[in-house]
Amino acid sequence: MDSNILQKLTSADYLHKNLTALKQEIKGQWWQLTQPNTPDPIFIIGCSRSGTTVTFETLGESNEVVSLGYETPQLWHQLHGPAHNQWHSEAATAEDAQPAHRDAYFKHYYQRLSHGQILDKTCINILRLPYLYQLFPNAKFVYLYRNGRDNISSLMDGWRNNNHFGLNQFLGESPEPVNIEQGEFDQWHFFLPPQWRNYNQSSLAEVCAMQWLTANSLALEAKQIIPAQQWIELKYEQFIAQPVAQISRVCQQLELSFNPQMQQHCEHLSSRPTSMVSGEPEPEKWKKRNYDAIVSIQDTIAPLMQKLGYE
């Protein structure tokens, strides 16, 4: 046997990877045999760049939930995604939900975390709320929303972040040419909304405004069908200004203890950046970063801004 191959087969990383896969396979078989009763998840949802990540990290300090600590778009795509709907979008409806999807979801988490209430944050889930509610009728939803001007500006900054949020890594090449901002972008970023084909030749500001409008409009529609006790709202600006009070309230609504680790996490939010894109939170940051672009779409977003309580 070639010495390089032998060295690879006996390396600690290789052995660890295969041992992990074996353990997950055994746990998966055990889950199928026992079908343990698992509480429905807590989903953190909102438009990308609206504070969902920092909320996920903060609630993840609870010892009453289990979390992978990262997003799982690949899992959701396997259950239902662009490969199943002729690249319509990453959205999913109640009609797309199948009992096997619920089983596959719980099995996936059990293999990696064992038993417990799952805390889940994956940005495409803002497009899938009726689907999630159909699969998990007792799930709770923590909905983040943010001033549209700042949210869209932050989305624009994220699109420019060296394809970190690009979708080709998850979906593969787009079936249609993407020529956003006069060719600066040849792939979609963050999430693929139902109207994406109509915006392949648009400016970045128009694309990000459409993403913000789609995400929050779908959330408000879902709010009408999800029971009030399962729907918790968190306004980004209030969260950043009063993290302890706001997360304590959210925990009370989720029936989770607000523990010292959470409080400490909240207290330190003001001393560290919450954004990998543009640093520390700052009111009306859009005026410094994308002023002309945001002014160009203000009339488009104004009606939904008013619905969300912004002037």
pTM exceeds 0.85 for this model: yes
Q: Is the pLDDT of residue 15 over 70?
A: no
Q: Residues of 53-72 as b/e, b for ≥16 C-beta within 10 angstroms? A: bbbbbbbbbbeebbbbeebb
Q: Is the pLDDT of residue 89 over 80?
A: yes
User: What dotted CATH number matches 28-148+210-287?
Assistant: 3.40.50.300
Q: Is the pLDDT of residue 205 over 80?
A: yes
Where do the structural domains in the chain lie, given as residue ranges? 28-148+210-287
Cα–Cα–Cα angle for 242, 246, 251, nearest 5°?
Answer: 150
Task: Give per-residue pLDDT as tens, 95-139.
Answer: 999 999 999 999 999 888 877 899 999 999 999 999 999 999 999
Task: Give per-residue pLDDT as tens, 180-196.
Answer: 999 999 999 999 999 99
Whole-angstrom distance, CA of residue 269 vs CA of residue 273? 7
Weakest-pLDDT range from 22-26, 45-49, 194-198, 209-213: 22-26
Do residues 210 and 199 lie in contact, with contact meaning Cβ atoms separated by under 8 Å?
yes
Task: Give per-residue pLDDT as tens, 253-274.
Answer: 999 999 999 999 998 886 555 5
Q: Is the pLDDT of residue 209 over 80?
A: yes
Helix axes 52-59, 243-254, angle to 10 degrees: 70
Question: What is the predicted pLDDT for the residue at 20?
Answer: 65
31 pLDDT band, cuts 50/70/90, is: low
Q: Is the pLDDT of residue 27 over 90?
A: no
